[in-house]
Amino acid sequence: TVLASYYKMLTQALPLAHSVPVRCTGRFHGSKFLATPCQGTAACPPSPANPGSAHLRRGTLEAPVADIPARTLDWPSIAQNLDAKSPLEIMDHALATFGDTIGIAWSGAEDVALIEYAHLTGRPFRVFSLDTGRLNPETYRVFAAVEKHYGIKIEYTFPDAQETMDLVREKGQFSFYEDGHGECCRVRKVRPLRRQLSGLRAWITGQRKDQSPGTRQAVPVV
């Protein structure tokens, strides 16, 4: 069932997340958290993320963001302080710092741990997902199951209708088999993602370290 698959993803993802060093600059590397600061304001003192603390159990109604430009923060020091922190502590710091101007980019199995960690902080958080128009029915059922389980509404982002129609009319539904993925991904993924990120100051996503060990192992915390 969809829920059974979801719980399997979660039980597989969380132990991995706990066993891998955490990082921060805008995405989650496998389980490396990357909370990329974007231009704008952001910062209030982070709360220590302790699963037993009161604010993690009850959640919060608001996520205040102090009016401090992100570019004025001492990011090297923040990175150093977060280097030895757990994924939960780093997630808590990111949500406390950026409030509703940070979003979790969620696409399925590899990102389930992110939503779980955000949920455990007890803080409000945003989740968005890119619907390319080529997703499997099972993917939509997992989306629905996750929304129901966590009581959240995923912000779905779609490709531009005119661009997609022009691409399909000119080159067909499977142009990526002949021309590569560049044009298709640009229309269905890159541009929609940029539109979504234009309204955020930071974002979090899941990336597997084993897919690019030569580069992802060296990503700094911030």
Per-domain boundaries in the chain: 82-205
Alpha helices (H) along the chain:
2-19, 54-58, 75-82, 87-98, 112-121, 137-150, 161-171, 176-179, 182-185, 191-197, 213-216
Residues near 178 by beta carbon (within 8 Å), at least 6 away in sequence: 171
Architecture of the 82-205 domain: 3-Layer(aba) Sandwich (3.40)
- The number of angstroms, rounded, from the C-alpha of 25 to the middle of its chain's C-alpha atoms is 11
pTM (two decimals): 0.65
Q: Residue 129's beta-bridge partner residues?
A: 156
Rounded Cα distance, 157 and 197, in Å: 10
Rounded Cα distance, 34 and 51, in Å: 21
Mean pLDDT split into 10-residue runs, the chain, 222 residues: 44 43 38 45 37 36 47 79 89 93 86 92 95 85 94 92 81 69 77 89 78 71 66
Res 84: pLDDT: 85
